[in-house]
Every structure is written in structure tokens, then in C-alpha cells.
Structure 1
Amino acid sequence: MLKRNIQKGYKMRVGVDIDNTVANLNEELVKRYNVSLEVYPSPDLPGGFFSTEEGLELLAQAKPLPGAAEVLRALSRAGHEVLYITSRPVLAINFTREWLKAWGFPRGGIVFVPRGFKKVFAACYGSDIFFEDDPGEALGLQEVGTWVYMLEWPYNSNVEGVRIQRFSSWEEIEESLDCFSQYRMVL
């Protein structure tokens, strides 16, 4: 899957979404509120929900997706720059940093951007690859030339693109890590 898109000798800038890409927020949403995962963002949640005390608590309690920390640590050890880009409310900065550290994710900057602006950040920053689950963000990221690795959820099952590669678990990415150790993604 990944080997056909590589060029030797480059250290990548890796953008990483947090919620439902490395943190399993969906599990908590379904368990507590019985929300549907067919539509994103969920119409079952009121606007601004994640800025409330209840929403912030939910973000803090989400568990990591299996294999995510291991894959990102391996990319970081190989010299690639890992940067977390999230649409969480800025109020979540302290516990987001602590959450990443507590679950063994590699150090990296944390950037908070409004939903729909990840492509702007990626274009300005020069992100080579981006791990993302949001359908709109994924489509925008590919528009600016970023390779998107999209973790599969029901709400993004119909999203396709030339620069979008789907994966069903972080273990899939882990099996392809040799492709990332010293290469850059190219067309």
C-alpha cells in the first residue's frame, strides 16, 4: 500500500489528528450518549459540546486506539517530525498534553485549529502525511498535496481521493513502517 509512494532520503512532517484518529472518542460517545457514527460531526451533540465541562471530561477520558502510540513513536525515532493538529477547544491544552504523555505518545507540538482549517495549516507548514478521520478535513488536506491516511469509521466510508489511503487499524500502518523510516511520500 505505502511502498509505491516513496522517495529515499527525506525526513517527513507528520500531522496527526487526535480525536478518533489516536484517541477513541467515538467509543465514549456511543457508550454514554448512544450517538450514531453514520454522520460527522454527530448531529446528536449540541454545538460547542466539547467546550463544556462534560465535553472536556469526555475528551480527557477517551482511551488510545491500539497501536497508535507505537506507530508514532517509531516514526519519531526514525527522525520524522510528529505534530498533533486538532480541532479540540483550546481549553483542552493541558490535559491533551498530559493525555499524550500518559499514553506514551511521542513528544510533538500541539496545534489547535478550527474545524476546516487543517488544510491551511498543512499547506503553510508543509505536512507530508496526515493521519485523520474527519471526511471534510481529509478531502481538504489532499487538495493541498498532503497524503492522508484515514482511519475507517462509518461516517467516512464513502470518502475517496487520489491522496487518501484508508486503514482499518494502526497495526496496518505498523506493518508498513519500513516505508517511513527513510522516505518521503511522492506521486
Structure 2
Amino acid sequence: MRFGFDIDDTLINLREFAFHLYNEKLNENVELSVFKALKTIEIHEAFGLDKEAGGKMWNSLAEEVYYSSCPAFDGAVETLQELEKNGHEIYYITARKAEHGERTKNWMIENGFPVKDDHFFCGMKDHEKIHTINRLELDYYFDDKPAVLETLLDIPTKVYAIDNSYNRELDIPRLASWFELKELISE
């Protein structure tokens, strides 16, 4: 089978990692429960920042957020390694800017994700992911972002939302843990 995966907040816990960095850099102590209740992908509101200040904060921390010790979600690396071991094809489809492509791919490899050069797609806008997903004829695709998921509702690929507070309004099958994937594909 062919599996497609978004990266940020699908395979790696990027927003929560950034949330902890914001607390540290702003010398704040905003509770994790505030983060877990956010209805937006952006995290700046939890710190009382407006969109402009939040954007500046994110950009100032981008290097540290994207390329340091951001953890994978529990079971993500092992699940993808097992899929590859069992002969499945794994594709990464990320809206990270193209200039982050090679470094992101290398970071993924260094952190244990099975990555092949020709199975890594980067630099598209959210609404453009559908074209790559259709062209690859994926059997399954996993993402967290409502703006992406809403474009994929009428395609043959089985699409799953990675459960987050900001995407629970979507009526779409979801995955709450990477340990659920084995059971899901055996159905």
C-alpha cells in the first residue's frame, strides 16, 4: 500500500514543542491545558500576542522549532519503520517552504523516519497537496490541518485527521495515536 503523511503536528509534535519554547523565551508559565484547548493552529493567542507579534515570534524561533529536538509523536517513527519493513511505500507531503526541504528531509532521517528522496514532497501550499496525493494514488493520507483536510473529502484516498483541538469540528475519520494505525489498516 501507499501511505502519505504530513509532517508537522502529524508525525512530530511541533506546536507543543514551540509552545514550550514560547513559555521559555517569553518568561511565561502558560499552562499546557491552555495549549490543548486552542481552536487555532497558531499558538500566539495563548501568550496574548496578536497575529503580527505571533508571526514575528514564530519566525524568530523557526530554526530552533524545525531543526532541534522537536519530538515525534509516540509511536510515529516505529509505525513508519514497520510499514516500510512490511513493504509499504511511505511518502511525505509537507507545506514547509521549499528552502526547508533538504534540511527537513535530513532531520527526518536523523530522527529515525524512513525517507527516500523521491518520496519526499515539499514547498506546496495547503490547497495544492491534493494534486500530489492524487498523482501518487495514495491508499491512505494523514494530516492535521483543516485547510488541507477539507480539500481531500471527495478523493479515493482514505484520509484521516490526526486528532487535535483545532480540527475536531471536521467530520472525518481520525487517529488519536500512531499505535492505532496497525488496527486501522487491518480492517
* Contact residue 19 and residue 43 of structure 2 kept, 8 A: no
What is the CA-CA distance between 1:18 and the residue it aligns to?
0.3
Asked if structure 2 preserves the Cα contact closer than 8 Å seen for 1:51 and 1:91, the reply is no
Alignment of 1:92 with 2:100, yes or no, is yes
| Correspondence 1:171 to 2:160 | no
The 3 A distance-change label for structure 1 pair 58 and 141 is: same
Unpaired runs of at least 5, structure 2: 24-33, 46-50
- State the Cα distance separating 1:40 from its structure 2 match: 2.9
Identify unmatched segments of 5+ residues in structure 1: 1-11, 181-187
Instruction: Say whether residues 1:157 and 2:172 are aligned partners.
Output: no
**For the Cα contact (< 8 Å) 1:49–1:55, is it kept in 2?**
no
- The corresponding residue for 1:130 is 141
The answer to whether the 8 Å contact 2:2/2:91 transfers is yes
TM-score, structure 2 normalization: 0.76
Report the TM-score when normalising by structure 1.
Answer: 0.76
Matches within 5 A, 1:20-39: 20-33=9-22, 36=35, 37-39=38-40
Equivalent residue pairs, number: 165
Of all paired residues, the percent bearing the same amino acid is 30
Which protein is richer in strand relative to its size?
1
In structure 2, how many angstroms separate the alpha carbons of the residues matched to 1:91 and 1:50?
20
Q: Deviations over 1:153-184 (max 9, x none)?
A: 100111113xxx2121111224x17728xxxx
Instruction: Kindly indicate whether the alpha-carbon contact (under 8 Å) linking 2:15 and 2:43 is maintained by their aligned counterparts in 1.
Output: no
Residues 8-157 of structure 1 mapped to structure 2, 5 A cutoff: 12-33=1-22, 36=35, 37-41=38-42, 44=45, 46=52, 52=59, 54-61=61-68, 62-108=70-116, 109-112=119-122, 113-157=124-168
Q: Which residue type is aligned with residue 39 of structure 1?
A: T
In structure 2, C-alpha distance between the alignment counterparts of 1:13 and 1:20, rounded to whole Å: 20
Q: Which has the higher helix share?
A: 2
